[in-house]
Amino acid sequence: MKHIIIPTDFSENAYNAIRYAIQLFKNIPATFHLLHTYTPPIFQVEYVFQSPHQDSLGDPYQIEAIKQLEALRKRLQEEFENPEHNITIRAAFNTLTDEIQKISDYVKADLVIMGTQGATNAREILFGTNATQVINKTTCPLIAVPSGFEYVAPKSILFPTDYEVGYKKEQLQQLLDITKMHGSSIDVLHISSGYDLTDEQSQNKQKLQVILAQSELIFNDLPDNGVIEAINQFQTKKTMSFLVMVRNKHTFFERMFVEPVIKKIGLQIDIPFMVIPYVDK
C-alpha cells in the first residue's frame, strides 16, 4: 500500500497534480492524503478568540476547508472509481512543510506529489515558495507536476547524475517502483567535465547500474556546459516523460535546490519532475 501526500489549495493546478497521482498509481493499492494548510493572520481578533485551541467554538477556517476537501474528494471519486484507492482529507492550522512532515512520519509516506505553476508562453517549471520549501525540507521523494500537464505514463525517464555520490537502493526505491509499474526505460545523463571518471565515480556508476538493473538503461554523456543547459539540450533530441534528480549534499545538484536559485533556474521542461532527498546513512 502506497501512502501519498498531496497538498492542495483547491486550484485547478493542484487538482491536476492529484489526477496525475491517481493515474500514476492506478494499478496498485494506494491511500492519497489530501492536505490543506492555513495560517490566518493572527491579528484578526475574531480568529484569535476562535482559534484551533478552542475546539468547542470550532475553527471557521478549518470548517470551510473541510467542506472544500469533502467536495474535492467527491469529485475525485466520481471521476476515478478504483476500489484499490482510498482518499483521506486533512485541514490543519500549520505550515505546509511541518504538516507534511507530521503526516509523513505518522503514515510512513512514500511520496509527496504537488502541482507547480508553469510560466506563461514558456516550457519552464517555476517553483513557488511552498514547493521550494517542501523540496528543501521533506524527507520523502517529491514529484512536481507542471500546470496543465496531460497525463502520460512515465515510460521514458531522464536521470542526470555526476556520479559523485554512491546511490543506495532504499534511496531510489520509489523510482524503482515506478519503473517496474510502467516498464520504464531510464536515460542516465552524465554531464562530462572532459576528464575520465575517477575511480570513485566509476564505482558509483557501477552501483547505479546494479540498482537500476531491472530497467532498460541507456548511458549518455554530454559536455559540461551547465546542468540546466545539458538537460534542456537532451530534451530537444529525445522526448522524455519524467525527470528524476537526487539532491545529494556536496554536489552541484544540491545548489539547484537552494531557494533563490530554484525559482530562476529556467528548467525548460514540461514533464513531471521527481526530486529524491539526500540520505545520510
Cα gap 214→91, rounded to integer Å: 39
Residues with Cβ within 8 Å of 253's Cβ and at least 6 positions away in sequence, in order, are: 160, 162, 227, 245, 246, 247
Which DSSP category does 125 fall into? B
Q: 156-262+272-276 adopts what CATH topology?
A: Rossmann fold (3.40.50)
Q: Which CATH number fits domain 2-146: 1.10.530.10, 3.40.50.620, 3.50.50.60, 3.30.2290.10?
A: 3.40.50.620
pLDDT (tens place) for every residue of the chain, 281 residues total = 999 999 999 989 899 999 999 999 999 999 999 999 987 655 444 544 444 444 444 578 889 999 999 999 999 999 999 999 999 999 999 888 899 999 999 999 999 999 876 444 444 444 556 666 777 777 899 998 988 889 999 999 999 888 888 888 999 999 999 999 999 999 999 877 767 888 999 999 999 999 999 899 999 988 776 777 788 788 888 889 999 988 766 555 555 555 444 444 445 567 898 988 876 65
Cα gap 117→146, rounded to integer Å: 6
3-state helix, strand, coil in the chain (%, to 5): 35, 25, 40
* pLDDT at 169 (0 to 100): 92
Cell representation of residue 116: 507547480
Residue 218 phi, psi dihedral angles, 5° rounding: -130, 120
Q: Residue 15: name the closest of 32, 39, 31, 30 by CA.
A: 32
Task: Locate CATH 3.40.50.620 in the chain.
Answer: 2-146, 156-262+272-276
Q: Which residue has the cell 533563490?
A: 260
Residues with Cβ within 8 Å of 113's Cβ and at least 6 positions away in sequence, in order, are: 4, 5, 6, 17, 18, 20, 21, 24, 142, 143, 145
CA 98 to chain centre: 16
* pLDDT at 146 (0 to 100): 85
Rounded to two decimals, the pTM is 0.85
Cα gap 71→76, rounded to integer Å: 9
* pLDDT at 269 (0 to 100): 64
* pLDDT at 54 (0 to 100): 45
* pLDDT at 148 (0 to 100): 83
